[in-house]
Structure formats: C-alpha cells, structure tokens
Amino acid sequence: MAQTVRHAGATGAPAGTEQVRRQNTGLVLRSLRADGPATRTELARRTGLAKATIGTIVAELETGRAVTEGDATSPSVSSGRGRPGRPVTLAGESIIGLGLEVNVDYVAAVAIDLAGRVTVVETRSVATAGQPPSTRELVELATDVRSSLIADGRTVVSATVAVPGLVAHDGRTVSWAPNLGWDGREVAAELEEAFDGDCPTTVDNDANCAALAEASHGVATDVDDSLYLTGTIGIGAGIVRDGAIVRGGSGFAGEVGHMPVGDPAALCGCGRLGCWEASVGLRAMLAAVRLDEHATPLRTAMAVAERAATDERTRAALEVLGLDLGRGLATLAAILDPSAIVLGGYFVPLGEYVVPAARSVLAERLPTAELHLPEIRLSSLGIHAAALGAAEHALTDVFTGAVTLSPTA
C-alpha cells in the first residue's frame, strides 16, 4: 500500500476545523516520539485531549501506518482502574525524512523514519580541483537515495539540505556561503526539479542542523541549552535554547566563524582578516601541522591524530589551536550561557589534543566560570551530524500536523 502526503489546505474541511485536527494529530505524534508508547488513556492525559479525540486520531494514524496499537498478543499497559489498555507505538517505518549536506569536499545523505531510526547513511567525496562545487554531486546523491527508498516501498515526505552558510528567510535560497562560492543560489528549487516536484525541499544552515541532531540523538540530549560548533573548513555554531534552534532576527544567528577573534593577520575565505575560522578551521589546522587534506574532514583529522600520537611538534601545534578555540568559546559562552558545548567534525578525532587547552582558556576567561563552566563535549554523531539533523528537520511538518499521511490503493 502506498501513501499520499497531503499538505495543509489540501482538504475540503473548514479551515478552522482542519487546522485544529492537524494540530491535535501533531501533538499526539510528538508525545509518542518524545515520551514513548502509551495507551489511549495515557495519551489523553499527556496531551490534554479528550479520549474520544485520541481514539479518532489513533485510528487515522494507524490507517496511515504512522502508529501501531497493540493487539491481543501485545503486552498490556495498566492505566488505572478497569482493564489494561493496549499501547500505541510510533511506527512509521515507511515514512521518511531525507537529510542532505553539501560541503566544500563532500556531500552526505541520511534518511530517518518517523520513529527516528536511521535507514540510510551515505557520503561521497567531491573533487572540485580548487573550483567552487556545483550542485551536480548533491543532486545525484539525493536522487539516487530517494529512488532507492521509493523502490523499497518508503514515502519520502520531504528533504532538507544543510549548507555551510547563510540561508534566506524563505528556507530555500543560500544567501551567502563563501566557502562554497554560492551567493543567492536557489538550491531547494534545483532539487525539487530533480525530484520531479514530488518532494518538497528546504535549506538550512549546517550548524543548526547538527545542533538539532545532537539535541535529539547525540551528546546533548540531557540538556535544554547547548552550543554546537562545526569542525569543517568553515566554523559555524548551532544554538539550542529550550530544545529549539535559535535563529535570530534575520535567521543568521550562529555565524561565529567570522567573529574577529582569530589571528589578525590570517586571511579568511570570506576575504577578511582575523576571522576565527582562519585560525581554527580545518585548513588552518592543516597548515599548522603541515599535512595535506584527505577525502573528508574526519579522515583528515584521523591522519593528524595518528601523527600527533608520536610527534611532539604536531601535538604542540594542536595545543595552540586549542587555545585559539578556547578564546572564541569563552566569548560565546559569556553571551549565550550554554549548559554544554559540543564540538563536531574534525575536532572529534583530535579531542584529546585540543580540548584540554580549550577548556583551560574557557575556565580562565569566562567571567562566570566559578558559578558555571559549560562542559565541552565531543560529538557522537561523526561527519553525518548535519545530514541527520536535516533529516529531522524534514519531518517537522509531520510532527506539527502540517501534512497528513493517507493510504492509497
């Protein structure tokens, strides 16, 4: 049985009634995702909805294969007086969000189902020979992965692309990505055309996506406020406050790589001097340790870590990088007061050489260090963090009730 994805406004029901129904459906889905299986009675208690409303929603979601409700052979759940109830469980193996990432030297794809299970992970190197990357490799990867999912009986609800740069308010256009050489590129439209108009696509900043992934799947699941720092050629930050991404007035919050806190003589890819990423970005690190770049930031960092294990000069260079990293983190922590700072990308394999120096500077320079010192954590999600967060973003409309999943013959 296939599925049809209907977006808001696609039915003939009165706008108010349809909107309330969608919002209630999204509320139930979010409860099941956040707090796990529950009986109809328990769902009514969690959401504040009437039990009859819960019954209608569960029946619709079960028909759309988004949930399953335990049968006579399933373990029962006690919900107080009366007969034990049957647990409603988020299923949705066939409902997919597709996350994509494009960077200077690689493209990546991650697909997750409605329950947050990862079904596809793929990375491809991009050889640009010193030229700005095109979208050709991204489009090829996206269409290959989507076609494979569809052939496997899955429904790709939507796609989100993570990019290392500023994204316009429309969530579709890359306003400025200096490391990609993109300015005003309509990435979402290009992908939707490749998808034959059957998969709505949005664009978001890579650090925002990675921060969302860490908050939902990684090392920041236990805190409400965190700061994620990318570790690629560019340096960006994703800010999570009360479980949601902080975007700022223009949607550009987190462009920390271009803070003027780096070496004032270092030339950045944006054309300015003294940007932080010109001191702590991937290529700055490679110049400091005098090694060539490998296929991906992760492989590059692993090669550097291997040398650092036996080479004192490499360790010394990484310690200096850690000091520069700590200075920028102290500035950010003083402003944002995160509970945890998560380092991603190339920082992860080099953590033992970089983090101690960064932590010491953070403790020394943060005015509130004696009262609260944010813990520096290493990402557990690897190079696919941004694509994973993009996949979560792609399912947003399902969890808000903006789309309805209906079975078709």
Tell me the one-letter amino acid at 155.
T
d(CA 2, CA 285): 49
* Other Cβ atoms within 10 Å of 219 Cβ, number: 20
Helices within 131-170 (DSSP H only): 136-151
Helix (H) or strand (E) holding 42: helix 40-47
Q: How confident is the model at residue 409 (pLDDT cuts 50, 70, 90)?
A: very low
- Tokens 């270092």 belong to 266
Please, are residues 174 and 103 in contact by the beta-carbon 8 Å criterion? no
CB environment 43-80: b (16+ within 10 A), e (fewer): bbbbbebeeebbeebbebbeebbbbbbbeeeeeebebe
What digits encode the pLDDT tens for the residues 263-318? 999 999 888 999 999 999 999 999 999 999 887 788 899 999 999 999 999 999 99
Give the mean pLDDT of 91-105: 91
- DSSP state for residue 260 in the 8-state scheme: S
Give the mean pLDDT of 20-49: 93
d(CA 146, CA 275): 38
Please, are residues 180 and 163 in contact by the beta-carbon 8 Å criterion? yes
pLDDT of residue 153 exceeding 80: yes
- How high is the mean pLDDT of the chain? 89
* Domains in the chain, CATH or no CATH each: 2-91 (1.10.10.10), 95-208+387-398 (3.30.420.40), 221-380 (3.30.420.40)
Least Cα distance to 246 among 208, 206, 205 occurs for 208
Strands (E), 190-296: 201-205, 226-229, 237-241, 244-245
pLDDT of residue 2 exceeding 80: no
Least Cα distance to 68 among 49, 47, 93, 45 occurs for 93
List 107's β-bridge partners, or say none: 102, 124
Tell me the one-letter amino acid at 213.
A
What digits encode the pLDDT tens for the residues 365-407? 999 888 999 999 999 998 899 999 999 999 999 998 887 765 5
Q: What backbone phi and psi angles, to 5 degrees, belong to 133?
A: -70, 150
Tell me the one-letter amino acid at 221.
T
pLDDT of residue 72 exceeding 50: no
pLDDT of residue 408 exceeding 60: no
d(CA 390, CA 160): 5
Q: Is the dihedral angle over the CA atoms 255, 259, 264, 270 positive or is it negative?
A: positive
Residues 6+ apart with CB under 8 A from 269: 178, 179, 233, 234, 277, 278
CB environment 163-180: b (16+ within 10 A), e (fewer): bbbbbbeeebbbbbbbbb
d(CA 91, CA 232): 35
d(CA 354, CA 228): 16
Please, are residues 357 and 326 in contact by the beta-carbon 8 Å criterion? yes
Give the mean pLDDT of 225-239: 92
Give the mean pLDDT of 72-96: 68
Residue bearing the bigger pLDDT, 256 or 234: 256
Please, are residues 389 and 368 in contact by the beta-carbon 8 Å criterion? no
What digits encode the pLDDT tens for the residues 53-70? 999 999 999 988 889 998
d(CA 291, CA 293): 7
Q: Tell me how far apart the terminal alpha carbons of the chain are, to the nearest angstrom.
A: 6
d(CA 110, CA 387): 6
Q: Is the dihedral angle over the CA atoms 402, 45, 221, 339 positive or is it negative?
A: positive
Give the mean pLDDT of 328-344: 96
Q: Would you put residue 108 in left (φ > 0), alpha (ψ -120 to 50) or beta?
A: beta
Helices within 38-113 (DSSP H only): 40-47, 51-63
Q: How far is CA 326 from the centre of its chain?
A: 24
Residue bearing the bigger pLDDT, 208 or 73: 208
